[in-house]
Amino acid sequence: MGADIAGNNELSATVQSRSVGLKMYNIIVKNTRGKGVQALALSAYADKQGFYGCTFVGYQDTVLANVGYQVYGKCYIEGATDFIFGQTARALFSQCVIRISGDGWVTANGRDSSLNPSYYLIDKSSIAAASGYTGVGRSYLGRPWRNYARVVVQRTVLSNVISGAGWSQWSSSSPNTDHVSFQEYGNTGDGASGARVSFSSKLSGAVNPKSILDGDTSWVDLGYVYQ
């Protein structure tokens, strides 16, 4: 179901997750609405949620990582347009398989001020084309939904599906790049090279994944993520 039928973006989600402390293992979640409308597979709308070995498939807005601390460990996430997005969550994507099914953007972080805690870290993952998609250099690691967007992609294999520019502005009329933090470290693969956009940067070292969670990992299944 798409937002056009559901009434809004969140209500289009195949799974709406609003329970604090939720853990989900090895579940396949799809939204088959397809191209042309926002259609979520997952709406993660609560604190300390962990998703382990799950599959999330959509096209536009697949995963809404919106509030609180969230961990996605060894998940498969597929989409094309802004398919990992949200407003205030601090979300770790560790050892995930991220697949792009059409020209677009992996992330669309909606951090709207310096006081907003939102932070996405993609770590030790792989980003490549989904089966059937043959675009080369026509997709981006992210674009800023809001002007303080903050995303790090590190120690990740990037295929040639990723443009040499790496990152994109939101649009020509609303770039949203004045205060963004788009950073990379230690990425490899054909998509890791190229003249990156001026509003992105390279880190001198890897971000500690625990820092995304402000040091509290008591609720995280570390054995699953790092076994």
Q: Which residues of 186-225 are buried (b: 16+ CB within 10 A; e: fewer)?
A: ebebbbbeeebbebbeeeeeebebeebbeeeeebbeeebb
Nearest alpha-carbon partner for 59 in 41, 76, 34, 30: 34
Strand partners, 151: 120, 182
Strand partners, 23: 50
Can you give the pLDDT at residue 177?
A: 98
List pLDDT tens digits, range 144-165.
999 999 999 999 999 999 999 9
Span 29-58, average pLDDT: 96
Can you give the pLDDT at residue 114?
A: 97
Helical (H) or strand (E) element with 4: helix 3-6
Torsion of CA 189, 200, 88, 75, to 10 degrees: 0
- Distance from C-alpha of 101 to C-alpha of 178, rounded to nearest angstrom: 29
List pLDDT tens digits, range 96-132.
999 999 999 999 999 999 999 999 999 999 999 999 9
Can you give the pLDDT at residue 73?
A: 98
**For the chain, what is the mean pLDDT?**
96
Between 9-13, 29-33, 104-108, 168-172, the lowest mean confidence (pLDDT) is in 9-13
Phi and psi at residue 185, in whole multiples of 5°?
A: -155, 130
Nearest alpha-carbon partner for 48 in 213, 226, 223: 213
- State percent of the chain over pLDDT 70: 100
Q: What is the CA radius of gyration of the chain?
A: 16
User: Is 82 annotated in the active site?
Assistant: yes
Beta-carbon contacts of 84 under 8 Å, excluding residues fewer than 6 positions away, are 62, 63, 65, 77, 91, 93, 98, 106, 107, 108, 120
The CATH code of the domain that includes 153 is 2.160.20.10
Can you give the pLDDT at residue 11?
A: 87
- Please tell me the pTM assigned to this model: 0.97
Q: What is the pLDDT confidence band of residue 226, given thresholds at 50, 70 and 90?
A: confident
Environment class of residue 94 by beta-carbon count within 10 Å: exposed (0-12), middle (13-18) or buried (19+)? buried
Phi and psi at residue 83, in whole multiples of 5°?
A: -85, 0
Span 80-93, average pLDDT: 98
**pLDDT for residue 23 is more than 90:** yes
Domain of 20, in residue numbers? 3-226
**pLDDT for residue 227 is more than 80:** no
Among 82, 178, 190, 214, the active-site one is: 82
- What total number of domains does the chain contain? 1
**pLDDT for residue 9 is more than 90:** no
Can you give the pLDDT at residue 4?
A: 83
Span 70-85, average pLDDT: 98
Can you give the pLDDT at residue 3?
A: 79
Nearest alpha-carbon partner for 200 in 216, 184, 224: 184
- Distance from C-alpha of 94 to C-alpha of 125, rounded to nearest angstrom: 6
- State the first-to-last Cα distance of the chain, in angstroms, to the nearest integer: 36
